[in-house]
Amino acid sequence: MIGIISAMQEEIQALLDNLHNITITEKGKRKYYSGILFNKEVVLVFSRWGKVASAATTTQLINDFDLKEIIFTGVAGAIQPHLNIGDVVIGKNLYQHDLNAQPFYDKFEIPILKKKYLKAKEHSQLLSSTTFFLNEYFEFIDKSEAQEFNITHPKVIHGDIASGDQFISSKEKIAYLNSELPSTLCVEMEGAAVAQVCYEYNVPFSIIRIISDKANDNAEIDFSRFANTVASNYALGILKNYLV
C-alpha cells in the first residue's frame, strides 16, 4: 500500500475523486481514505499545515497501514529565480530551515540523528512520470487556468527543499535562505518533518512540490483555487503515470 499525504484536501481532491472502494478511518481529527487508485492500493490523507501536523499524520499513517512508501504532494514557494509558477520540484534532500539547536548542534542539524538533511527515495521513475505528465499537460490542466496563473512552459527539477513553520514572503528571508542553504530550490511547511518520521521508521518517502509563487513580497495568489484546480490535477497526472 502507498500512503499519499497533502497539507490541504484541495491538493489531493482530484485523487480522492478517482479513488474506488473507499474505506474511511477517522483518528486524531483526520480522515484516512483507503481504496484503489489506478489499480493500486493507497491511503490518502490531508495532514493540515505545518511540521507538527504532518509529523503526527505520517506517524499515524505508518502505524495503522501496511505501507511500502509515502508520497507527499502539494504547493511550495520558489526561492531560486529559474523556477516559475507551475514548475515541479521532486525532493532530493530535505532540510528544516527553522531548526537551530546551537551550541549543542550545528545550525540545521537534527538533534540525535546528527544529520542536516534527509534524503528522499531515489526517483528516476517519479521524474519520468512527471515528464510524461508534462508532455500530456492539457489533458489534466485547463488551458484557461494555466493562462490565469501565468503557467507557460512548466518543467520538472530534482533538487533540495527546505521546510519550516513559517510562510516565507519577503526578499530578505529568501536572501537568508539562499545564503544559508544555497542548494534549496523551494520552501514549504511539511516535507522535512515527513522525511524525519519516515527516516526513523525506515519507510521510503518522496516529496512532490508544485511551485505556486515566488515566496516574495509579491506572493499574492488564491492558494485554495490554485491547489484545487492546478496542484490537485498535477498530483493526479503525475501519480497516474507513477502508479500504472
Catalytic residues: 11, 213
Cβ 86 vs Cβ 173: under 8 Å? no
Cβ 48 vs Cβ 31: under 8 Å? no
Nearest to residue 241, comparing CAs of 74, 72, 121, 127?
127
Distance CA 32, CA 63 (A): 12
Nearest to residue 192, comparing CAs of 2, 58, 12, 62?
58
Cβ 208 vs Cβ 88: under 8 Å? yes
Q: Buried (b) or exposed (e) across 98-118, using 16+ Cβ within 10 A?
A: ebeeeeebeebbbeeeeebbb
Residue found by looking up cell 496563473 in the block:
149
Residue type, 85: I
State the maximum Cα–Cα separation within the chain, in Å, rounded to a whole number.
52
Cross-strand bridge partners of residue 95: 117, 162
